[in-house]
Amino acid sequence: MNSCDTPGLMPLAQALETMLAQISVISETEIVMLEQAVGRVSASAIYSPMNVPPAANSSMDGYAVRTKDATPNTVLQLAGKALAGSPYTGEIQPNQAIRITTGGVIPEGADAVIMQENTELNDNEVRILDKVKPGDNIRCAGEDIKQGDRILEAGTLLSAAHIALMASVGIAHLEVVRKAKVAIMATGDELVMPGKPLPTGSIYESNRYALLGKLSIMPVDVIDLGIIKDDPDALRQAFIQADAHADLVISCGGVSVGDADYVKQILDEVGQINLWKVAIKPGKPFAFGKLNHASFCGLPGNPVSSYVTFEKLVLPLLRKVCGAQQAESPYFYAQLTQDVQKRPGRADFQRGVYWLNENGEIMAKALPRQSSGVMSSVTQANCYLILEQDSGDKQAGQRVKIQPFNAMFSH
Ligand SMILES: Nc1nc2c(c(=O)[nH]1)N[C@H]1C(S)=C(S)[C@@H](COP(=O)(O)OP(=O)(O)OC[C@H]3O[C@@H](n4cnc5c(N)ncnc54)[C@H](O)[C@@H]3O)O[C@H]1N2
Ligand code: MOO
C-alpha cells in the first residue's frame, strides 16, 4: 500500500484495473445496415475497397484548362462540358477550355481548373483573367482515402462521421458487436416513482433516470427492474432475475453499512463480492462482483455518488463488455480563483465551472455545495475539478486539473 492510500479503500486506478481484468467481452456479432450502426461497436477493422474520390475532380465551378495555354488575357475555345455525374469524354486539345462544375471529373489533358469568377465568357470563348497553375482547384483521386487504407478500427464506438466514411467507400452494412444487456434497479423503501404522490418520509427515485440517460447513448439493451424494496427476499429475486438475462447488473443504493443496506449481503449469497470501497469522493462504498453469469456493479445511493461512480467506474467496464476501445476523457489544467477544501485519502471529483478570462487563460472554481446529495451541483457545473487522492487543500492561484463535461450529451 502507498503511504497516501487509505486503509480499506482501493485507489481508483487500481479498482478499475481489477474490474477490467475480471470482465469478459461480448463475442457475438451481427450485421446491421449502416443507418442502424451509429452508437454500435465495430467488430472488425475495415479496409477501403476503393479510392475516394474515385477520380480527380474539380473543387470549383469554372473551366478545366491546360495551364500552358491559360495565361492571363488569352482566349480559349469552349469545347464541351464536364458536369458532376456526366464526364467529358474526349481529351482537351491545345487552346481549349471545358466547362466544369464542382465535383466534375477532370478531362484528360487538363491540369487545372480556373474559377468561373476569374474568366469572362463570350459565346463559345472563355477569356482567362487571372493566373492559373497546375493542380489549381483539382481534388486528386485518393486524396481522402486510398484503396486498401485501414479506415476503421475494430472496437470503434460508431459516430455519424464513421458511417458517412463507410458510405463514401460504398459499404452499406457493417459487422457490429451485439448490444450488451444491462439490468438496472434502484433499491430503497423511501423511493417513489416520479408522477406519483409523495408520502411523508419518501423521496422521488432519480438515480435510475441518470442511468437510463447515460445508457441511452451506449450500445445497450436496458432491462429496467424499477425500484426494489429494502427486503432481502425481493433483492435476491431481483438479482437472480437480472442475472438470468443480463451481461451486467447495476443497482444503486444499499451498499453502505446501514441497517437496510442488503446489497452486499445478497451479492455475497448469490454471487461474490470482488471489490468494495474505492478511494473516490463521492462514491466510496461502490461495490463490484460477479453473479452466476453477469458482472455486478453496486452504486452508492447518494445521487451524485451514483452519477460519478457510473462515469468513472461503470462506463469503462461497459465499454470493455461492449468490445469498445477505452476512451480517456480529455483533461487540462486551470487556475483556481477560489480556495478549494480537500481531505487527503480519496480522489475528489468536485463539480465546478471553468471559463476563459480576458487574457485567454483557463480559470476554474468549485461550486459551493459539494454534498453527494446535491444533484443540482452536476447540472450547474461544466466540469469536474479533479483533486488527486494524495492532494490536500488548494489555494486560489494554484493549478487544478479539470475535466470538461461533454456538452452534446449527458456528460
Ligand atoms: N456509517 C456510515 N454511513 C455511511 C457511510 C459510511 O462509510 N459509514 N458512507 C456514506 C457514503 S460515502 C455514501 S455515498 C452513502 C451510500 O449509501 P448507500 O449506497 O447505502 O445508499 P442509501 O443509504 O441507500 O442511500 C443514500 C442516500 O441516497 C438516497 N437515494 C438512494 N437511492 C436513490 C435513488 N434511486 N434516487 C434518489 N435518491 C436515492 C437515499 O434516500 C439516501 O438519502 O452512505 C453514507 N453512509
Ligand atoms: O462517497 Mo459518499 O459518495 O462521499 O457521499
Say if residues 23 and 323 touch (Cβ distance below 8 Å).
Answer: no
Answer yes or no: is pLDDT of 292 > 70: yes
Check pocket membership of 300 for ligand 2, CB cut-off 6 A: yes
pTM of the complete model = 0.91
Q: For a substitution probing ligand 1, which of 302, 312, 370 has the most ligand atoms within 8 Å of its CB?
A: 302
Which of the four pLDDT bands, split at 50, 70 and 90, describes residue 1? very low
Answer yes or no: is pLDDT of 353 > 80: yes
Residue 83 C-alpha to ligand 2 middle, in angstroms? 65
Residue 261 C-alpha to ligand 1 middle, in angstroms? 9
Enter the C-alpha cell of residue 376: 443540482
**pLDDT for the residue 408:** 52
Which of ligand 2's atoms lies nearest the C-alpha of 309? 3
Check pocket membership of 188 for ligand 2, CB cut-off 6 A: no
6 CB burial (10 A radius; 0-12, 13-18, 19+) = middle
Cell 477532370 maps to which residue? 106
Which of the four pLDDT bands, split at 50, 70 and 90, describes residue 258? confident
Q: For a substitution probing ligand 2, which of 256, 284, 343 has the most ligand atoms within 8 Å of its CB?
A: 284
Q: How many CA atoms lie within 13 A of 89 on its CB side?
A: 1
Q: What percent of the chain has pLDDT over 70?
A: 97
CA 411 to each of CA 82, 223, 351, 366, 384: distance values in angstroms, whole numbers, following the listed order: 48, 22, 12, 17, 11
Q: For a substitution probing ligand 2, which of 286, 305, 341 has the most ligand atoms within 8 Å of its CB?
A: 305
Domains of the chain: 12-28+179-321 (3.40.980.10), 29-52+143-177 (3.90.105.10), 57-139 (2.170.190.11), 332-404 (2.40.340.10)
pLDDT per position as a tens digit, 177-224: 999 999 999 999 999 999 999 999 999 999 999 999 999 999 999 999
Which of ligand 2's atoms lies nearest the C-alpha of 373? 5
pLDDT per position as a tens digit, 103-152: 999 999 999 999 999 999 999 999 999 999 999 999 999 999 999 999 99
Strands 62-65 and 203-204 turn out to be unpaired
Please report which ligand is nearest the Cα atom of 346: 2
pLDDT per position as a tens digit, 18-57: 999 999 999 999 999 999 999 999 999 999 999 999 999 9
pLDDT per position as a tens digit, 315-324: 999 999 999 9
Which of the four pLDDT bands, split at 50, 70 and 90, describes residue 406? confident
Residue 281 C-alpha to ligand 2 middle, in angstroms? 6
Enter the C-alpha cell of residue 331: 483533461
Say if residues 272 and 290 touch (Cβ distance below 8 Å).
Answer: yes
CA geometry: angle 11, 13, 15, nearest 5 deg: 65
Which of the four pLDDT bands, split at 50, 70 and 90, describes residue 5? low
Answer yes or no: is pLDDT of 94 > 90: yes
Whole-angstrom distance, CA of residue 275 vs CA of residue 20: 12
Check pocket membership of 104 for ligand 2, CB cut-off 6 A: no
Which of ligand 2's atoms lies nearest the C-alpha of 372? 5
Check pocket membership of 303 for ligand 2, CB cut-off 6 A: no
Check pocket membership of 301 for ligand 2, CB cut-off 6 A: no
**pLDDT for the residue 4:** 47
Residue 361 C-alpha to ligand 1 middle, in angstroms? 38
Per-residue burial over 88-118, b = 16 or more CB atoms within 10 Å of its CB, e = otherwise: beeebeeebbbbbbebbbbbeebbbbbbbeb
Say if residues 65 and 128 touch (Cβ distance below 8 Å).
Answer: yes
Which of the four pLDDT bands, split at 50, 70 and 90, describes residue 6? low
SS3 label, residue 87:
coil
Please report which ligand is nearest the Cα atom of 301: 1
**pLDDT for the residue 383:** 97
Which of ligand 1's atoms lies nearest the C-alpha of 261? 20
ipTM attached to this prediction: 0.97
